[in-house]
A and B are shown apart, each in its own frame.
Chain A
Amino acid sequence: MSQLSPLEQEVAELITQSLNLDTDPGSIDPAQPLYREGLGLDSIDILELALVLSKAYGFQIKSDDPDNAQIFSSLAALARTVESRRTT
């Protein structure tokens, strides 16, 4: 099992809580894809997650952002985005 950074752990908890995942946040592999074959999220989960992140960290991720595939590619990538874009 990979060790999560504090921010990865925080984002992982936000993901599992807001999307009601039946997954222990600490057990998420930070390099694993969030989409289908990885954590099993679908495009609507990603939209929901974008909304939750915008509330929690004060930055917008638009659904047509060309960087979305990269931003949501893994927990580690998502935590890096939060780190660089957060305003709260």
Chain B
Amino acid sequence: MNASIAIPAGGAWFEGHFPGRPILPGVATLALVLDALARETRYPVSLRGMVFARLRQLVLPDDRLELGTRELGNGHTRFDLQRAGALVANGELILGPPAEARPPLAAVAASVFPFDAPPLAALLPQRPPMRMLTAILSATDDGLSCAAAVPAACALVSGGSAPALAGLEAAAQAAAAWEAMRRWRAGDGAVPRIGYLVALRDVVFFAERVPAGLALSATVRLEAAAPPLSYYQVEVALGGRPIVRGTIATFLAAGS
């Protein structure tokens, strides 16, 4: 299947991501790929998981992208997204209904207040309506648990909910907040830096969509680091039930 994807010149997709530096959020790129797949196949597409996805180049306002997809023998779908012949993103999708959730994980410890941290605006470059974190719940040497919500005004939201992919944006923001807190604790001041979501692996979705405005928990734990690249195990849950789990990699932009 081949399709063209036209990125708008501005507007909701770029609100708050980032002020003065419009970049399409990585999860929005993936959401647009799924939309195009549904449009071309004229059939609703639900995402059960991703074997992997690589976001290789920034997607900017007014970009014209070409999507190619191919079904693999195992029922997975491979996609390549290109701009003028250069690979912008690729991955292997597992389409189908969401996975059955295993029993909920033990609740995140919420007993660590009072908690000493800079305000979120000093940790994260994302601004409303693309900032999803609402509070830091607990921090450890290797990870962070946050409260989050998908703002109703976020471009991913339609009809009161967003694709569960939005949960991965919340997780990426939790990873960015953890890195910013680590810099702050090391005495480097609380300065937000732009980090890009560059890779996703072994992602499993337990819900198709996530309602806007409801309190989510986003937990990230550092799995490996090869600076400026960091890998995190992530889980985003709603009311103790998982929405999405997987591994993400973020890349800290130089001098951002």
Contacts and interface: CB of A to CB of B under 8 A. Distances in A.
Contacts of B198: 44
B193 interface: no
Interface in A33-56: 40, 42, 44-45, 47-48, 50-51
A63 B228 contact: yes
B52 A50 contact: no
Nearest to A20: B52
Given A20-B51, A40-B87, A48 B228 contact: no
A22 interface: yes
B199 interface: yes
A45 B231 CA distance: 13
Contacts of B229: 44, 47-48, 51, 63
Contacts of B52: 20
Contacts of B91: 20
Please name the 9 residue pairs, one residue from A and one from B, whose CB atoms are nearest each other, closest first: A47-B229, A20-B52, A51-B226, A47-B226, A44-B198, A42-B56, A51-B224, A50-B226, A44-B251
Interface string B174-200: 000000000000000000000000110
Contacts of A50: 226
B78 A44 contact: no
A22 B52 CA distance: 12
Interface residues of B, number: 18
Given A20-B52, A44-B229, 18 more contacts: A20-B51, A20-B54, A20-B92, A22-B78, A40-B87, A44-B54, A44-B251, A45-B54, A47-B229, A48-B199, A48-B226, A48-B229, A48-B249, A50-B226, A51-B224, A51-B226, A51-B229, A51-B231
A63 B199 CA distance: 18
A47 to B, nearest CB: 4
A20 B231 CA distance: 16
18 contacts: A20-B51, A20-B52, A20-B91, A22-B78, A40-B87, A42-B56, A44-B199, A44-B229, A44-B249, A45-B54, A47-B229, A48-B199, A48-B229, A51-B224, A51-B226, A51-B231, A63-B227, A63-B228
Interface string B77-108: 01000000001000110000000000000000
